[in-house]
Structure 1
C-alpha cells in the first residue's frame, strides 16, 4: 500500500513518521512504516527509491540495507524482505496475463520480464525449448524498456493481444513483424509497474520462485544449476 501526504496509518508512531517524511518531501510516496529487525528503528520503502531505516520520531534515517551479523557471515535482512515480497507479487499474477512456455511436469518455474527489442531477451528465448526440456517453465511478463506508448510497447502488447500469444512473441523475438493489435485490456502497463516494484531495471530479468531476482541473461544449463536441477 502506498501512502502519501495526509495518509494515516494504524500504528501511531508510523503516522508520526509518515507526517515527518511527507512534510519534508511531499513529492515522494512512502509505503507504510513497519518495525525493523533493529530495535528502535522503522523501515519505510520510498516508491521508486531506497529503503529507509528511520527513528520513531521521524527525525533521522539511514538509506540502505540492514545486515545481521551471524556466525555464518553477514545476512542481508533487507534483501530477505524484498525477496519475500517479490515472490508474493509474482505469485499473484494471473496465469492468463502471462505468456507461458512450460513442460508437462515442470521441476521449477521462472518469471521472466522481457522486451522484444532486447538482444539478450532474444537469446534467452532461443533457449526456451532447452529450458523446457530441462524441466523449467518460463512465465513471461512484459517490460518494454522504452516505456508506455513506445514502438516496443505496441509490439509486445500486440503479442499479448494476439490469438496465439506464444507464437506472436516468438515471431517478434525472431525479428519478424506481427499485426499491430493493442487491445484495451492488455496487461503490459500493469506489468511494467510490477517490474519496477520488484526491482527490474533492465531485461531480461528473472524472478525465481523464492523471490530471488536474477538480472540479465543466463544460459539454460546455468539456470538449471541455479535452480538445483541436474
Structure 2
C-alpha cells in the first residue's frame, strides 16, 4: 500500500511539473509575441538556473525569461563546473548554429575540398567585395592541405541589392562556382544568367546567427569567429573543434 502511494505521489508531481512547464512556455511565448522579436522561437526549456528558462531562437541564438514571462534578458549564463566557469549560453548557441549550418545542402555552397581525407570543415560567410575575404581566400589552399574543407556561404555585407550581392549572385549562378569565385576575387568580371539562388537566404541566416561583417567563420562545432585570422591560427582552431 505504501509503495502504491509513493508511486501515485511521484506521478502527480511529474504531471504537475509538466503542466507548470507548459504554462511557463505559453507565458514566455506570449511575451515574445508582444515584443515582436521577429525571430521564430524553436524551443523553451528550463535552464540549469532554477526559475530561469532558456529560449532558443531560429539560427541558434539564446535568450532567457522568467517562468511568468514578465522578465526577458539577453546575456551570458555561466555555471561553475569543477572549479572553472563554463559559458552555458555560448555552448547552447554553438550547438544551435552548428545545427543550422549542417542543415544546408552542400549543393547550395561553394566548396573547396580538403587535400586527401578531410579532418574537419569550416563554413565561411564571404563577400567578394571584402578585402579581408580576399586575404582569407588566398589561404584556402593552405587550409585544404591541413585537411580542412572550406565551405562558402554568401553574405553581401552592404545588403541585398549592393554590388557585393550582385557579384555573389553571379558566382552562385555560374556553372563552375569555384572558378567563378576565384576569378571574382582576383578582380575579373563574371557574368552569369540570372537564376534561382540562395544568396538572400544565406544572408538572412548569417544575420540570425550573429554575423555582422565578413569574413565570418563557423567551425564544425558551431563556434563563430568574426573577422580574418591567418591560416595557421584558423587551422589550429578548426582542427581542435572537430
Scaled by the length of structure 1, the TM-score of the pair is: 0.86
Residues 155 and 180, structure 1, Cα contact 8 Å, conserved in 2: no
Residues 154 and 180, structure 1, Cα contact 8 Å, conserved in 2: no
Q: Which of 156, 160, 167 matches 1:155?
A: 167
Larger Cα-atom Rg: 2
Q: Which of 63, 71, 74 matches 2:85?
A: 74
Shift of 1:181: 3.2
For 1:226 and 1:73, the matched residues in 2 are separated by 21
Q: Which of 112, 119, 140 matches 1:128?
A: 140
Q: Which of 108, 114, 117 matches 2:126?
A: 114
Aligned twin of 2:207: 196
Judged with a 3 Å threshold, the aligned counterparts in structure 2 of structure 1 residues 180 and 150 are, in CA distance, closer, same or farther, namely farther
Q: Which of 96, 103, 116 matches 1:85?
A: 96
Q: Deviations over 1:129-174 (max 9, x none)?
A: 1111222110001011111121210111110110111011111111
Aligned twin of 1:5: none
Residues 119 and 239, structure 2, Cα contact 8 Å, conserved in 1: no
| Larger helix fraction of residues | 2
For 2:94 and 2:52, the matched residues in 1 are separated by 21
Q: Which of 157, 182, 188 matches 1:170?
A: 182
Scaled by the length of structure 2, the TM-score of the pair is: 0.82
Aligned twin of 1:143: 155
Unaligned runs of 5+ in 1: 1-9
- What root-mean-square deviation, in Å, do the aligned CA atoms of Structure 1 and Structure 2 show? 2.1
For 1:26 and 1:224, the matched residues in 2 are separated by 40
Unaligned runs of 5+ in 2: 1-20
Q: Deviations over 1:5-30 (max 9, x none)?
A: xxxxx92321112223433x246545
For 2:235 and 2:49, the matched residues in 1 are separated by 36
Judged with a 3 Å threshold, the aligned counterparts in structure 2 of structure 1 residues 150 and 101 are, in CA distance, closer, same or farther, namely same
Judged with a 3 Å threshold, the aligned counterparts in structure 2 of structure 1 residues 45 and 227 are, in CA distance, closer, same or farther, namely closer
For 1:58 and 1:137, the matched residues in 2 are separated by 43
Judged with a 3 Å threshold, the aligned counterparts in structure 2 of structure 1 residues 141 and 129 are, in CA distance, closer, same or farther, namely same
User: Is 1:221 paired with 2:232?
Assistant: yes
User: Is 1:56 paired with 2:67?
Assistant: yes
Shift of 1:44: 2.8
Residues 67 and 78, structure 1, Cα contact 8 Å, conserved in 2: yes
For 2:36 and 2:104, the matched residues in 1 are separated by 31
